[in-house]
Copies of this chain bind each other. A is one copy, B any other.
Amino acid sequence: MSLKLKPRERDPEASVEGVLRLPSLALHHGGTLAKAELAWRLVGPPRAPIVLAIGGISGHRRVAAEEDGWWAAVVGAGRALDTRHFRVLGIDYLGGSGGSTAPAPGATFPTLSAFDQADAIAALLAAEGLAPLHAVAGASYGGQVALALAARHPALARRLLVLSAADRSHPLASAWRSVEREIVRFGARHGDAAGGLKLARALAMCTYRTPREFAARFGGPAVPANGRLRLPIENYLYARGEAYVARYRPESFVCLSESIDLFRVDPREVPVPTTVVAVPEDQLVPYADLESLVTRLPAGRLVRLESIFGHDAFLKEGEALRPIFADCLEGPAR
């Protein structure tokens, strides 16, 4: 059952959004989510092939450039994923800070898996008659969800484009994210989860980009500020942290960050043709891990994308991703 919301004036003509309501959702790590809700949004021509576009844990149902979406460099009219030719489906992740079911401050919430996101998406596709999807384009956490969807519900997606995500998280990436979560929990124990989230986000910024990018932007000397010497990089990190606190909830961050680290899928169980985009400079998802993933996928193909933006390449490299999307969207399908 899905409730349609009225398109807003400023939205593209061909957009529609709604909320899927599920009486319950059985969870991958055990337990059940009662009265689960999944907020979704479609943009693009009503009869065009549908592409599910999902990103990092801070991604949400607004994807395209014309709706101020999180993937504006890549999705929109004239972009790599062209909303004049494809209908793009976006979702708010379960557990996230959008319109879907999520943890409340201080309340316990079950451990969420990328497989749970996949099951909720499968229910949405059934309820709205959207299957099979022409493709799933998933980056970072969205790449894990794409792999989970194809493993659990192989008939629902004809092809995958997985960017900067592997069949499991690398222990060093998990280490960084674990510290981020512990900072938020530490803050929460002291009544300041938002203060913890600000620092966690600052730390995350250190992992998304590359040494080369930081050196190019933040090589200047420290300058006096508030009684001590402040480095250029510090202004950047804590401004990003504060901006994040304004739009994301600490509980959601902990929930979905953990979901990334618990993810494990057997690539042999992903029968859908899959293009994997690997960025050698990515500090979170080592290139070798994606080489290894592709050798174990039944129908995998590796594309190397060099980028000074590291893990953030999927957000920044709109032009370089254009031929990669084209090859995938026109390529082999199940």
Q: Does B199 lie within 8 Å of A186, measured CB to CB? A: yes
C-beta contact mask, A163-184 vs B, less than 8 Å → 1, else 0?
A: 0000000111011101100110
Q: Does A35 contact B (CB under 8 A)?
A: no
Q: Does A138 contact B (CB under 8 A)?
A: no
Distance (whole angstroms) from the CB of A41 to the closest CB of chain B:
31
Question: A175: which of B176, B183, B205, B221 is its contact (CB, 8 Å)?
Answer: B205
Total A residues in contact with B, Cβ cutoff 8 Å: 46
What residues of chain B lie closer than 8 Å to A231, measured between beta carbons?
171, 174, 178, 261
**Which of the candidate stretches A47-55, A89-97, A212-220 sits at the interface with the other chain?**
A212-220
- A148–B206 Cα distance when bound, in Å, is 28
Q: Does B179 lie within 8 Å of A237, measured CB to CB? A: yes
What residues of chain B lie closer than 8 Å to A221, measured between beta carbons?
264
Q: Does B29 lie within 8 Å of A178, measured CB to CB? A: no
Q: Does A2 contact B (CB under 8 A)?
A: no
Q: Does A202 contact B (CB under 8 A)?
A: yes
Q: Does A192 contact B (CB under 8 A)?
A: yes
Within 8 A of B (CB), among A209-257: 210-211, 214-215, 217-219, 221-222, 228-229, 231-234, 237-238
Main secondary structure of the interface of A (DSSP, over half): helix
Listed residue (A205, A231, A261, A262) with the most chain B CB atoms within 10 angstroms of its CB: A231
Q: How many copies does the complex hold?
A: 2
What residues of chain B lie closer than 8 Å to A262, measured between beta carbons?
222, 229
Q: Does A178 lie within 8 Å of B286, measured CB to CB? A: no
Contact A211/B286 with A187-B186, A195-B186 known, Cβ cut-off 8 Å: yes
What residues of chain B lie closer than 8 Å to A286, measured between beta carbons?
211
Contact A211/B170 with A179-B237, A228-B111 known, Cβ cut-off 8 Å: yes
- Which A residues have a C-beta under 8 Å from some C-beta of B? 29, 111, 170-172, 174-176, 178-179, 182-183, 186-187, 190-192, 195-196, 199, 202-203, 205-206, 210-211, 214-215, 217-219, 221-222, 228-229, 231-234, 237-238, 258, 261-262, 264, 286
27 CB contacts below 8 A, A to B, read A29-B229, A170-B214, A171-B231, A172-B206, A172-B210, A172-B233, A174-B218, A174-B233, A175-B206, A175-B218, A175-B233, A175-B234, A175-B237, A176-B203, A178-B231, A179-B206, A182-B238, A186-B187, A186-B192, A186-B196, A186-B199, A187-B190, A190-B192, A203-B203, A211-B286, A222-B261, A229-B262
